[in-house]
Amino acid sequence: MLSLALCILTSWAVAQDKPEAKIGDPAAKLEGLEWIKGGPVELKKDKVFVVEFWATWCPPCRTSIPHLTEIQKKFRENDVTVIGISNETADKVKPFVEEKGDQMAYVVAIDPEKKTTPGYMEAYKQRGIPTAFIVDKQGNIVWVGHPMADLDAVLAQIVEGTFNAREYARKKALEQEKYEKSSKAFKEYFEAIGQDDGAEKAAQLAKQLIVNGSDQMLNAFAWRVLTEVDKDRQDLATALKAAAKANKLTESKNAAILDTFGLALFKNGKIARAIKVQTQAVELAKDNEQMHKELSDRLAEFKKARKANTGQKQAGKKDGKPPKAREN
């Protein structure tokens, strides 16, 4: 989740009165830029460009830099040019780029007069960075998103000539519609459970959310139910369904989502499976020291609970009392 984080912009206001640009529209020219590394670059037909907006102060932007460098190296022979554009001043960007050296091996520019930025960030109503745009060989914007998302896969299709911009735009529109529905259900669910007569409405909203929610939305929903909702209003079974679907959508490859799934299993009494899932999460988080420690501590908590539960069962056998029905 952290790799796809955005820094929300306050200085780049989005003009709400202008019509929103669409996928497939012609790309705006690169005007008024001051070239810090490489360049100048002019958008030309029969070439592909990745135009990314970033800032030195933005942690997710810095995280994306090695990935963009990798993309530039990978697709250089396919006439793909990566351009990073900052709204900062040269005295901030130039030392940063020089310090990065070969770790930032693509073209870098600043937009001091903000002549280029509006045609991308404002036109497509983007409020967070890093945000990247792909300009295809016909000079049209065919992709907008976080550079750590499916940028690589789309670029590969574009250079191979198999990318269908219209189908991609249709798919993104459907995803946006689902996102808006799930966002509405998310908000209304937590309002409903705070009401004495809101249980039935909350149950219906949860069903909508599980059908339409993205992996991140489902993960956030499950985590909030598990950790923030009062126990007498917690729907642990629904939280487990949401966490399980989020994990399925990410193919058990996301440590944070596995962590939520593990906690949901644990709180539903499925301790053995919770330990198995949490062990996977810990392994995936081994390169992130802080996350690795947090997930490892939770795994230790699960194992401690299993040990205590096993001890209770053994004690029950000795005194002739039936053990509590709980998985171990």
DSSP state of 91: H
Average pLDDT rounded to a whole number, residues 58-81: 92
Judgement on whether residues 117 and 138 belong to the same structural domain of the protein: yes
Asked, for residue 328, whether it belongs to a domain, the answer is no
Residues 50, 157: one domain? yes
147 and 180 housed in the same domain: no
Number of domains making up the chain: 2
| 69 and 149 together in one domain | yes
The whole domain housing 10 covers: 2-163
pLDDT at 291 (0 to 100): 86
Nearest CA to 148 out of 84, 213, 71 is that of 71
Co-location of 215 and 149 in the same domain: no
pLDDT over 90, % of the chain:
63
User: Contact at 8 Å (CB) between 158 and 133?
Assistant: no
What is the pLDDT at residue 60?
86
pLDDT at 234: 93
Residue 326 lies in a domain: no
| pLDDT digit string, tens, across residues 131-165 | 999 999 999 999 998 888 788 889 999 988 898 88
The verdict on 141 and 179 lying in the same domain is no
111 and 188 inside one domain:
no
Q: Is residue 300 part of a domain?
A: yes
Kindly report each contact of residues 238-242 with a partner whose C-beta sits within 8 Å and lies 24 or more positions away, as own/partner: 238/203, 238/206, 238/210, 239/264, 239/267, 240/264, 240/265, 240/267, 240/268, 241/210, 242/206, 242/209, 242/210, 242/213, 242/218
Q: Quick check: is 180 in a domain?
A: yes
In this structure, is residue 18 part of a structural domain? yes
Q: Are 146 and 264 in a shared domain?
A: no
- 156 shares a domain with 11: yes
Tell which of 163, 188, 209 closes a domain: 163
Q: At what angle do helices 271-284 and 289-319 cross, to 10 degrees?
A: 160
Lowest-confidence region among 108-117, 162-171, 218-227:
162-171
d(CA 131, CA 322): 59
244-271 pLDDT, tens digit each: 999 999 999 899 999 999 999 999 999 9
User: Domain check: are 121 and 175 in the same one?
Assistant: no
Angstrom distance (rounded) from CA 133 to CA 22: 12
Whether 49 maps to a domain, the answer reads yes
266 and 241, same domain (yes or no)? yes
Are 159 and 176 contained in the same domain?
A: no
CATH number (domain holding residue 94): 3.40.30.10
- Residue 236, domain CATH: 1.25.40.10
Mean pLDDT of the chain: 88
With a pLDDT cut of 70, the percent of the chain lying above it is: 89
CB 328 within 8 A of CB 313: yes
Per-residue pLDDT at 5 exceeds 60: no
Tokens linked to 61: 């932007």
- Out of 163, 197, 224, a domain closes at 163
Examine the fold and report which residue of 105, 135, 163 is the final residue of a domain before the chain moves on. 163
What is the torsional sign of CA 66, 155, 94, 39?
A: positive
Any domain includes 324: no
pLDDT tens track for 79-128: 999 999 999 999 999 999 999 999 999 999 999 999 999 999 999 888 88
In a domain, 29, yes or no: yes
Mention every residue, 6+ apart, whose C-beta is less than 8 A from residue 250: 215, 257
- Torsion on CA atoms 109, 115, 120, 124, rounded to nearest 10: 150
pLDDT of residue 8: 58
